[in-house]
Structure 1
Amino acid sequence: METSSLSSAASAFASKAYSGMDKDAVSKKAHAVAEDFESVYVADAFKSMFKDVSVDPLNGKSDSSNETWRDMLLDQYAKDFVKKGGLGIADGIASELIKIQEGHAG
């Protein structure tokens, strides 16, 4: 999920766009948004870790196409990492989004 869609999802929670939804549906949506946010954070961390690593280990060369594929691979690694538990920040983010939805932010 891109950063712009993350902020729009958080804005939707803040504007009570999900107020007509079932509490379980809101919780699932909040957790999905929180996991997407965590995966973006983890992907950025992975990309920082790999920035000085040669993209092609066979010839030691790097070009923009290899870097694009590597970024896509690291994005997927981050999503998989978060689905398996990640860093654990998604639960806290989800609970804060739910508080915002219920009007108990703070």
Structure 2
Amino acid sequence: MNVSGLSNTAAAPHTDKLRAQATELEGVFINTLLKEMFSSIKTDSASFGGGFGEETWRGMQSEQLADSIAQSGGLGLADQIMDGLLQIQEASRNTSQVQVPVNGAYR
């Protein structure tokens, strides 16, 4: 992604906000993956103790780990989301109708 070509200095805070939202969305996705991964780990009284406390802790652990991964560069989803958002934003400035990219999930 190349946002350095933006000439308007007022666009910088807007792209920072888009970047933060894209990173947050990537964190939510990573959190979902981590929750599924942790749900496959067998926990019983012999290993971690099991129970409600462990279940709660695992949820918090996956959330914090996902946030750290996303803030550290993540999987690259935030970059792709940013590119898509900027393309849609640019298209809306150039035309009165926003055209959704054909290669997306919605055709």
Indicate if the aligned counterparts of 1:34 and 1:90 stay in contact, CA closer than 8 A. Answer: yes
Give the Cα separation in 2 of the matches to 1:65 and 1:59: 14
Higher RCO (CA 8 Å, separation ≥ 6 residues): 1
Aligned length: 86
Looking at secondary structure, tell me which structure has more helix per residue: 1
State the 1:95 CA deviation: 2.0
Give the Cα separation in 2 of the matches to 1:57 and 1:88: 38
Any idea what the Cα deviations from partners look like across 1:6-65, whole Å, max 9, x if unmatched? Answer: xxxxxxxxxxxxxxx921111111110000000111111111111021456754542223
Give the Cα separation in 1 of the matches to 2:44 and 2:15: 42
Query: Does 1:67 find its partner at 2:35?
Result: no
Q: Give TM-score, length-normalised by structure 1.
A: 0.68
Indicate if the aligned counterparts of 1:26 and 1:98 stay in contact, CA closer than 8 A. Answer: no
Letter of the structure 2 residue corresponding to residue 43 of structure 1:
N
**What value does the CA root-mean-square deviation take over the aligned residues?**
2.3
State the 1:73 CA deviation: 1.0
Structure 2 residue aligned with 1:91: 79
Unaligned 5+ segments in structure 1 are: 1-20
3-state SS, counterpart of residue 85 of structure 1: coil
Structure 2 residue aligned with 1:80: 68
Identity %: 31
